Amino acid sequence: MYKNKKISCVIPARMKSSRFPGKPLARILGREMVLRVADIAKQSKYFDQIIIATEDEIIKRLCEIYGYQSQLTSQHYTCTHRVAEVSQTLESDYIFNLQGDEPLTDPAWIDRIIEFGVDNDYDMVQASRQLEPDELEDEDVVKMIENNGRVVHMQRTPDVICKNITVQLGLYFYRRNVICDFPNLDMGFVEYWKGLDTIGFCGKYEVVPYDLKCGKIRAVDRQHHIQEIEHELSKRQS
């Protein structure tokens, strides 16, 4: 809870990722990735509850064995739909969507985003970082186009080039009514297929970017990213 606002964290964990099937159960330095991300969420000062949202019974059982609450959802193509389904069952003021493939997240980033969102009464806050030159053509890196302090467009390939391009990170903070409205929002087939579902919010709500100023970090999108993540975590622990 922050400023008397109840805040829930929902961690979507999808087994059928097209780029990396079985990703939530991939081991990183000996611990399943979904558990690593839940461990990060547990270190936040503000979460009243943490729920792993999954369509997979194995993930649900694993999380519960390690003391984490888990909820089975319908089959969804996007993680945002999964988070929306769970959010509709919660009595919270705000929902934090912490993607299950973000094991490099610093718990302090979560708390900063929550404070920023609640203090300014925003509909939605989207974590971001600066785009590196070698990432412009990388389709695993989702780019956001910003205008006047708001996210107005998203892309994987550079179909629009401008100076206000940043990288989307898998940390999202919404008013509960905003994320619950997601299934009703307009989203084109291309955006849906490419996993650019945050575009749906941009047409109706103010989506405010929050630059974590964290340098070049990545989510786990493919099998070979595991080694990169392990290397970075080992550096942090040394």
Q: Domain spanning 7-237: which superfamily?
A: Spore Coat Polysaccharide Biosynthesis Protein SpsA; Chain A (3.90.550.10)
Highest mean pLDDT, choosing among 63-67, 132-136, 147-151, 157-161:
63-67
pLDDT at 190: 61
pLDDT at 160 over 80: no
Position 139: which residue type?
E
* Contact predicate 49/9, CB 8 Å: yes
Phi, psi for residue 173 in degrees, rounded to 5:
-130, 120
pLDDT higher than 90, residue 164: no
The C-alpha atoms of residue 16 and residue 196 are separated, in whole angstroms, by 17
- One-letter amino acid identity for 169? L
**For 129-147, how does the pLDDT look when each residue is reduced to its tens digit (9 = 90+)?**
999 888 888 888 899 999 9
Task: Please tell me the distance from the alpha carbon of residue 122 to that of residue 172, in angstroms, as a whole number.
Answer: 12
User: pLDDT tens across 166-201, in order?
Assistant: 999 999 999 999 999 999 997 766 676 677 888 889
Triad 202, 219, 199: Cα angle to 5°: 10
**SS3 of residue 79 by DSSP:** helix
pLDDT band at 78 (very low <50, low <70, confident <90, very high): confident
Domain ranges of the chain: 7-237
- pLDDT above 80 (res 77): no
Residue 48 has phi, psi (to 5 degrees) of -80, -25
